[in-house]
Structure 1
Amino acid sequence: MSAKKSDIETPAQVLSMHPRKFLLWLFIVSIVMIFASLTSAYVVKQSEGAWLIFDLPQAFVYSSIVVLLSSATMQWAYWSAKKDNLSQIKVAVGATLALSLVFLIVQYLGWGQLVDQQVFFVGNPAGSFIYVLTGLHAFHLAAGIVFLIIVLISTLRFKVHSKSMTQIEMCTTFWHFLSGLWIYLYLFLLLNN
């Protein structure tokens, strides 16, 4: 007895992801959980009263612009890698790296503006929260800078191109996440201050 074509089982298509990409997404989810818990704690603590009211530093507006520009240059690097335009990858990753350093400098200046307003890490919880939220983001951005340097070195060694995209895809994903996280934090602080 012969089997009909419809009786033959076709194997189910297996969904797979590169193990490093999977780890990156686990890392991103853990960061989201940390910031979700911190922003929730912020709202709860603020509702208890005795909350210090202050203006967000003007520097945070500039750092928001810088982080969005860095996200655009990182996307440019990704598109350049897909097109095997190695010289543009180097320029775009280098520009992202430079903008990320500018972001950290502007954040530092923003903390100085907070001190000028008598907002300190110790004392009122409002000050503590703003330093913890922005400082923790800066720490993760520093990790992103290390990732950018690794991608830049790989690019200089001709290891980033259209047939080897995993590293730059991961870096681009993480960088867009960091940019989005900063915009979320800035808007959260702006609306809940």
Structure 2
Amino acid sequence: MKKPLEEEYKIAKRKSAKPMLWVSMISMTMMFAGLTSAYVVSRKRNDWVSFDLPMAFYGSTVVIILSSITFLLAKHFIKKGNRKLTTLNLVSTLLFGLCFVFFQFEGFSELFNEGFVFAGAESTVKSSFIYGITLAHLVHIFAGLIVLVVVLYNHLNNKYSESDSLGLELGAIFWHFVDILWIYLFFFFYLVR
């Protein structure tokens, strides 16, 4: 009697996991759409100061793209039953994610050293927006890093296989989301000055 109920619960959980993730990502997208819309409207202000993006943001863009590629490879290799290459690519994804965070803080340092601060008398509207939106994205990256650690832990504990890799797939979807979100933000800041 207990076995069929557990099985039904697992099936229901599997069916609802991806739609729930998509709903949460849509709400996050709406938040960033609102923030970037406010950025566009604020460009009309008289005190708007235009400046180039920090070079470190270019580096962070490259490493987050690489991290998505390695996560795609991890997903590919788990489906092929190659645990060793899955592990290698998951570890690589985590390292690229940490490099992304490093480059983001380097970018903040570049902005700060050029006199663009987040808040206070010396802040500009544009620098405040860039700090605020990028920090909001970093919160999602930290969530993604936690997801990566959980996925890697579960993988090392043999919770994923060729036929059951839902957790890894969900982690990949979220990681690709934060990747695409950063690429959008990077090009948005680059093009909308």
TM over 0.5: yes
Amino acid aligned to 1:93: L
Contact 1:90-1:155 within 8 A present in 2 as well: yes
Contact 1:54-1:117 within 8 A present in 2 as well: no
How large is the RMSD of aligned CA atoms in angstroms? Answer: 1.3
Aligned 1:24-35 pairs, distance under 5 A: 24-35=21-32
Query: Which runs of structure 1 show a deviation greater than 6 angstroms over 4 or more consecutive aligned residues?
Result: none
Superposed CA offset, 1:60-85 (max 9, x none) = 11000000000000000000111111
Aligned 1:5-154 pairs, distance under 5 A: 18-122=15-119, 123-154=123-154
Matches of 1:102 and 1:36, distance apart in 2: 26
Amino acid aligned to 1:172: A
Amino acid aligned to 1:177: F
**SS in structure 2 of the partner of residue 18 of structure 1:** helix
Normalization by structure 1: what TM-score?
Answer: 0.89
Task: Provide the residue aligned with 2:156 in structure 1.
Answer: 156
Can you give the 5+ residue segments of structure 1 that lack an aligned partner in the other structure?
1-16
1:111: Cα distance to partner?
A: 0.3
Normalization by structure 2: what TM-score?
Answer: 0.89
Identity of paired residues, percent? 37
Superposed CA offset, 1:95-142 (max 9, x none) = 000110010011000000001111110122111100011111111010
Matches of 1:191 and 1:43, distance apart in 2: 11
1:19: Cα distance to partner?
A: 1.3
Superposed CA offset, 1:2-30 (max 9, x none) = xxxxxxxxxxxxxxx72121211111001
Can you give the 5+ residue segments of structure 2 that lack an aligned partner in the other structure?
1-13
Between Structure 1 and Structure 2, whose CA radius of gyration is higher? 1
Higher share of residues assigned helix: 2
Would you say how many aligned residue pairs link Structure 1 and Structure 2? 178
1:89: Cα distance to partner?
A: 1.1
